[in-house]
Structure 1
Amino acid sequence: MRQGLAEPSPQSTALPVEIGFLAHHGHAPETLRQAAILARFAGISADEFLLKHNLVGEDDFYRALAAELRLPFLSAPPLSQAALYPDSILAGIAPLAGLQAGFVTAPRGAALARLLGTRLRSRTLAITSPSRLREAVFRRQGPWIADRAASDLARWAPELATDLGYGQITVLFVVLTVTAFGIGHAPGPTLAIIGAALGPLFLGMIVLRLAASVLKNSLEPNDEAPRTEDAALPVYTIIAALYREKRVAATLIQALSRLDYPAAKLDIKLVLESDDRETLDALRAVDLPGNMEIVVAPKGEPRTKPRALNVALPLARGRFTVIYDAEDVPDPGQLRLAVARFARLPPQVACLQARLTIDNTDDSWLTRLFTIEYAALFDVFNPGLAEIGSPIPLGGTSNHFRTSVLKAVHGWDAWNVTEDADLGLRLARLGYEVRDLPSSTLEEAPVTLGSWMRQRTRWMKGFVQTATTHSRRPWVLLRQLGVWRCYGALVLTWGIVLSALFYPLFSVLFLAEWFSGTTRLYASRWDTVAWFYSLTLFLSGTAAIMIPALVALHSRRLWRLWPWLPLLPFYYGLVSIAAWRGLWELATATFRWNKTSHGHARTSRAGLVLRSTRREWSARDH
């Protein structure tokens, strides 16, 4: 025994070395022993179990470690420029500033046991906590971290990154101007040309939606595997980007705490912007579980959700990573189901998309229609696309990834305001697949038309960014995806954009001609062909809107929403307005992120789910 170190008490001799020293510093040996037993059942180190279950505070733990080793504890370690991101954080050690300053360490697990085993005492070594080490690295390397989060994809694969120059925007608007001029001065020929040119995309969208409707996609897993023992489960990373979300911050914490997954194997990162003091204060007012950490993204551009996610991704420790939004309430068993699905799927399946469903359905006519739209999209259309092997534009949340693949493709495009759709297509181009995960996540829909329009304008602007990015080199896209999947990718990008822009116009003109009685069905052979072509598009397009919605509402047992189905064409008329607004915003504010405010829901389709915390924060606001 080294001179000056206390002899271990008999009660602590049976404790793992990584926590046994705490018995010398005021912590009850029996509590430590119980934690050690539970840690073995969970398949993790005892120190991780203690810290993630908040049985010992992080600062208390590492101050006790410093005292045990007779090393200094640094609350704000001054790091050298040689400190690396994310390496220093993941390794738990970084160089201090100064030629002979040494290193600061925040050891975990095996590294902690080795340090205690060697009882190293050196003037060149200091102790800090993992959170303080991470904050120190961010202080030292903030500008470089911000640059990496914004530009890593563009440096690695510029052909896959968003790069909308003024030239491309100019060409787009010239085409639209010529089209508008043609419609104004020669509407018949112009619309005929547009219809003929866009017909393959429209028909492709119609065929995909109808085909998806006939495929059976249960809301519950049909092949549920036996429950996996906690010790066999991998570490799972959860990343949630929050910005001005004080109203739902406590709700998110409660929702994540309900997950049926060992708390010590959850690596939860809440990413905030540096100027978002209100959300930071809201989180600090809550007793955060030990498996959650607040990551403050360094200042930088663009101010988008994907940039914030890119800041946290290199720090992910889990084998799998899932993205949640601030207002999400995922099904408690979702992570276990994802682990079981990944275990049975081939390695090229990089992502599982869970089902998103609206919770505040009864707030307004808009939330009812939003519920129908989401049900058709996530319960029918996307699962159908996965079944036939099509590329899938991901939803913005509840995407479960193999972390190694997500890091290998350099995360999200920080400059794309629908980073989810872009990532889904990029994964397909790089040879990966996306599959469906039959597990629901409750979401809050915008209640007011203004909030809905701002959100949808951003989505449509992002789809134009995505469509332009992935069709810059169509021959490369064709080589990577093959003929039919390439066609599907075009349908799911340009098809969505152009149908939103023009399909309502064609529908109105068709109905006007029909009810005016001016149609001359047999005026000429070409008139007859054009008439039946228009009729086919109109009727099949209407069916492609209604049938997936009917199937989805039946699956969700939301039959009470059937009376709202006739309003769907008018709802998609609003989508068309948002698409035109998105084009304008593309030219005037290309990378602006229209923030959607949450925490305003008045109803809950799932019952009183986590509503008490929302009421509490609403009361604080007043």
Structure 2
Amino acid sequence: MLAALGRVSADEFLIRNGWIDETVFYRALAAELALPFASAPHLSRQTRFPESILTGVAPLAGPEGGFVIAPRGPVLSRLLQHRTLVRGGLAVTAPSLLARAVLRHQPRRVAERCANELPDHAPDLSSRDGATGSQFAVLCAGACLLSFSAGLIPSATLACLGAALSPLFLGLAVLRLAACFLGGPARPATDYPKRADAGLPVYTIIIALYREKRVARRLVAALSRLDYPAAKLDIKLVLEADDRETPAALASVPLPGCVEVIVAPPGLPRTKPRALNVALPLARGRFTVIYDAEDIPDPGQLRLAADAFARLPRDVACLQARLTIDNTDDSWLTRLFTIEYAALFDVFNPGLAEIGGPIALGGTSNHFRTEILQQIHGWDAWNVTEDADLGIRLARSGYRVEDLPSSTLEEAPITLNAWMRQRTRWMKGFVQTCTVHSRHPGTALRQLGLWRFIGAVLVTLGTVLSALLYPVFTGLFILLWSGGALIDPHSQGSRILFSVSVTLFCTGAAAVFLPAIAGLKRRRLWRLLPWVALLPVYYVLVSLAAWRSLWELAVAPFRWNKTSHGLARTSRAARLRSKGRDRPARGR
């Protein structure tokens, strides 16, 4: 009766709510059908990924052949109703055991698919093959021309370079300032729709884990707190084959029945998007969300997203939840990281969504329509900032990203070394994204339209160049302002250059500080306001990471700089909960 009320099958209700172990259930089913139970079925080479897992049927190896089945839902019901028609040559296994067997028997095929499905179907949209010959030629010619002219006529070269890049920098600054007047505060965690469980769709959660023993228990606890019926949750934890510590950590934690552990077969590149691509074809949910190992999403986030998708038009393919830092008080770096995230996820991205511009997605808390995500071949396994690339690729495919006013707590790197490794990877991926989507600018312009094309250029190329050249142009402005040798007071050109520089500098400074202040206001983090003054220093570090990314792009383009989690010393959420417990209760 409970399963019927939730509009799920009885087997899914029992297993996913943890009322019965999956293996125990399917052993009993095999006994009921008088069929053998296969705990580790030996599959034929004719097994196909993902079809054999999705259908629950796979051919067995050996001279006798036959099939192993893992029926569920309506198929299971029909099988029990017509059990007298069941013949020999069949064996029963559990769905998770069948998935494990398919991945074990087809490792190369699975690894090839999850790494190369996108570049094989749309090579121009993948980073696998790097820059084209024409892109490389243009880059070399530009570098030679710039270095030659800089040595010959440095002042004129700098003036021309500044004039050429001024529209890009000014456009990005104006976009950031405009976002301050758009969007709105994050919705409180308790304010979300309470639809009946029967009307909710199945929701897939994919989390890629690698050497995450420190946060395994906390992750399971966070997933258990989600306010969503367990029978309609399809949670997939994707591990790497050479990771020993994470499986051991998960084995020590009682996993909910809706959690499935998938081991990605060995292969290249060793990136998070490749791991996500292993699980995506197996997603059973109408919607799919990506979380990171250390994430703690609002309990009602899935309900809020499901309700938003139901109301929004189908061209909204993705909802980006708002990321915020939990370990704010660990160090000066985490405080500045918190300010940066408040400006990005509470101000800039919601503003972009409101005007319909392309959004470079964050790496977590992206909620997708599963069918559309599969249709565009998932993530680019060869892009180390796969989220930003996917946001632009969705826009080029005619889809939109909307803001989801729900928070997910994240852990920021504490040390400068860890932060630099992470930010270098992010900037390297942004350069890869710029390379991919500039291969055929005419095609991109036609797909996006003029204004969205300009927006895509601003959030990708503008982000890269502003990071690379921030110290250069800041230093030049200081020279100009101090009346250095670059200024000739009798030259009309110098006066124009000075005026343009002042305009850009003031606009850029406002674009740095105002979104940060607006983000702190929306997050009610006024205690961090004094730290906003250090943002210019923080962005010098971002520039250093951008320059490091160019070197890494040349020597190790697909290397994934792993960020260690579970090192936080403070927790803003725990402190707020503690204050809530200390507050005297109000009378009713």
TM over 0.5: yes
Q: Given residue 236 of structure 1, which amino acid in structure 2 is its aligned partner?
A: Y
1:483-533 deviation digits (Å, cap 9, x = unpaired): 111111111111111111112210112113323565757422221111100
State the Cα distance separating 1:451 from its structure 2 match: 0.4
2:573 — aligned with what? 606
- 1:499 alignment counterpart: 466
Q: Indicate the residue corresponding to 2:585 in structure 1.
A: none
Match of 2:5 among 36, 41, 57: 41
Change (3 A) 1:69 1:608: farther
Is the partner of 1:355 in helix, strand or coil?
Answer: strand
Answer whether contact 2:321 2:404 (CA < 8 A) is retained: yes
Q: Give the match for residue 581 of structure 2.
A: none
**Correspondence for 1:84:** 48
For 1:369 and 1:411, how far apart are their aligned partners in 2?
Answer: 32
Task: Tell me the C-alpha RMSD between the 2 structures.
Answer: 1.9
- Give the corresponding residue for 2:107: 142
Write the mapping of 1:71-470 to structure 2, written as runs, cut at 5 A.
71-119=35-83, 120-162=85-127, 163-165=129-131, 167=133, 168=135, 172=139, 175-176=142-143, 179-180=146-147, 182-183=149-150, 186-220=153-187, 226-470=193-437
- The CA deviation string for residues 330-366 of structure 1, in whole angstroms up to 9 with x for no partner, is 0000000001111110000000000000010000000
Alignment correspondent of 1:528: 495
Change in 2 beyond 3 A, CA 1:56/1:222? closer
1:525–1:158: structure 2 CA closer, same or farther, 3 Å change rule? same
Give yes or no for the alignment of 1:560 onto 2:527: yes
Matched, 1:67 2:34: no
CA contact (8 A) 1:236 1:321 kept: yes
| Structure 2 CA distance for partners of 1:608 and 1:142, relative to 1, 3 Å | farther
Deviates more, 1:566-575 or 1:159-168: 159-168
Q: Distance in 2 between matches of 1:563 and 1:608?
A: 21
Q: Measured at CA, do residues 178 and 276 of structure 1 come closer, stay the same or move farther in structure 2, by a change above 3 Å?
A: farther
Amino acid at match of 1:361: T
**How many angstroms apart in 2 are the aligned matches of 1:512 and 1:567?**
21
Distance 1:463 1:179 in 2: 23
Corresponding letter in the other structure for 2:79? L
Residue of structure 2 in register with 1:5 after alignment: none
Contact preservation (8 Å) 2:358, 2:391: yes
TM-score by length of 1: 0.90
Judge conservation of contact 2:290–2:367 (CA < 8 Å) in 1: yes
- Distance (whole Å) between structure 1 residues aligned to residue 354 and residue 151 of structure 2: 43
Does the 8 A contact of 2:189 with 2:298 survive in 1? no
2: CA distance, partners of 1:469 / 1:447: 32
Structure 2 gap segments, 5+ residues each: 579-588
- 1:138 aligned partner, one-letter code: L
Shift in Å at residue 127 of structure 1? 0.6
SS at the partner of 1:214? coil
After alignment, is 206-215 or 506-515 more displaced? 506-515
**Cα distance per residue 1:243-288 (max 9 Å; x no partner):** 1111111111111110000011100000011001111111111111
| Deviation per residue, 1:295-352 (Å, 9 max, x gap) | 1001110000000000000000000000000000000000000011111100000000
Q: Which deviates further from its counterpart, 520-529 or 281-290?
A: 520-529
Alignment partner of 1:407: what SS? helix
User: Which 4+ stretches in 1 moved above 6 angstroms?
Assistant: 221-225
Q: Is the 8 A contact 1:150 1:414 kept in 2?
A: yes
Aligned partners of 2:143 and 2:332: how far apart in 1?
33
Classify the secondary structure of the residue corresponding to 2:573. Answer: coil
Tell me, in whole angstroms, the C-alpha distance in 1 between the residues paired with 2:70 and 2:250: 24
Asked if structure 2 preserves the Cα contact closer than 8 Å seen for 1:251 and 1:610, the reply is no
> How far apart are residue 82 of structure 1 and its match?
1.4
Task: State yes or no: 1:587 paired with 2:554.
Answer: yes
Number of equivalent positions: 575
Q: CA deviation at 1:218?
A: 2.2
| Residue 447 of structure 2: aligned partner | 480
Q: 1:570 matched to which residue of 2?
A: 537
Provide the rounded CA distance (Å) in 2 between the counterparts of 1:536 and 1:239.
46
Instruction: Provide the secondary structure at the position in 1 that maps to 2:262.
Output: strand
| TM-score normalised by length of structure 2 | 0.95
**SS state of the match for residue 268, structure 1?**
strand
The aligned residue for residue 616 of structure 1 is: none
Deviation at 1:175, TM superposition (A): 4.0
Structure 1: where are the runs of 5+ without partners? 1-36, 612-622
Residue pair 1:392, 1:421 contacting (<8 A) in 2 also:
yes
Say whether the 8 Å CA contact 1:71–1:122 is kept in structure 2: no
Q: Give distance in 2, aligned partners of 1:263 and 1:360.
A: 29
Kindly indicate whether the alpha-carbon contact (under 8 Å) linking 2:192 and 2:303 is maintained by their aligned counterparts in 1: no
Deviations 1:509-564 (A, max 9, x none): 21133235657574222211111001101000000000000111011111111101
Give the % identical residues. 65
Q: Distance in 2 between matches of 1:279 and 1:219?
A: 33
Q: Distance in 2 between matches of 1:148 and 1:609?
A: 45
Offset at residue 99 of structure 1 (A): 4.7
